[in-house]
Amino acid sequence: MSEVQKEQTDDSHDIELTPFTLFRYVASIALLIFSIIIVCALIFTGNTRVASETHPAVALIVCIVAIVWLSMIEGQQASLVGLPPVDPDLYKDSHPMTYKNAALAFKGDNLDRYLMGRQFMVLLVVFVINQCAGPLDPTVDVLGLPDGVKLVFLDIGLGMIIFTCILGQLTTQVNASHCMIDFINNYFALFTLYVAMTVEFSGVM
């Protein structure tokens, strides 16, 4: 690939920072930060199922672990679906764990089995997140916020949607689609792959 072609390829991923684009970025980050704050505050009021039945710290830790695992589940899908056209010999030595992931996923119908199993995993992990961070009573005071704000972010669930989608799904999917080989070059990805295939093998999905 010539230098001109490389520059054109790099430029194709650049986004022009117009005032409207900057506003969108700032608004998105502000909503995410606010959603994280309100969800964490809700957990420490003990107004979620896991927090009320155990301890708010337990609910927060489980929620974080679930979000991290969801990010791997979603990102791994983007990586494995995009990697088949890439020659495995190109990353066999530089990314050995990616090679192991690909060797297992691309053997026979394992990729289809993984995709079915990971769908159940997404449902399960999102359910766990909802149990840890979803409000039992959306009218309970949280940070002294007005009822209208609590209605939108807690009762309707906009806060949880932003919190879960941005942290656990959309961001990691975009990152993994651009860094497919790097994203799954770890044992966590291999473990997730085995779990997804085990779920499919069990007949649940």
**CA 10 to each of CA 88, 181, 190, 192: distance values in angstroms, whole numbers, following the listed order:** 24, 18, 31, 32
pLDDT score at 6 = 52
* CA neighbor of 38 nearest in space, from 154, 129, 136: 154
DSSP element (H, E) containing 9? helix 3-12
Tens of pLDDT, residues 161-187: 888 888 888 889 988 888 889 999 999
- If you count DSSP H runs as helices and E runs as strands, how many of each does the chain have, helices first? 11, 0
The answer to whether 73 touches 162, Cβ cutoff 8 Å, is no
Tens of pLDDT, residues 58-114: 999 999 999 999 999 999 999 998 888 888 888 888 999 999 999 999 988 888 899
pLDDT score at 5 = 53
What SS3 class is residue 48? strand
Residue given tokens 């941005």 in the structure block = 166
pLDDT score at 7 = 54
pLDDT score at 125 = 93
Structure-block tokens of residue 204:
């649940």
Separation between Cα atoms, residue 199 and residue 205, nearest integer Å = 7
- Is the pLDDT at 1 greater than 60? The verdict is no
Tens of pLDDT, residues 25-65: 899 899 899 999 999 998 998 888 999 899 999 999 999 99
Tens of pLDDT, residues 111-137: 889 989 999 999 999 999 999 988 888
Geometric angle at alpha carbon 28, from 27 and 30, rounded to 5°: 65
What mean pLDDT is predicted for residues 138-151? 84
Residue given tokens 């969800």 in the structure block = 39
- Is the pLDDT at 203 greater than 80? The verdict is no
Write down how long the chain is. 205
Separation between Cα atoms, residue 100 and residue 96, nearest integer Å = 6
Separation between Cα atoms, residue 146 and residue 81, nearest integer Å = 44
Residue 194, C-beta contacts closer than 8 angstroms, at least 6 positions apart:
104
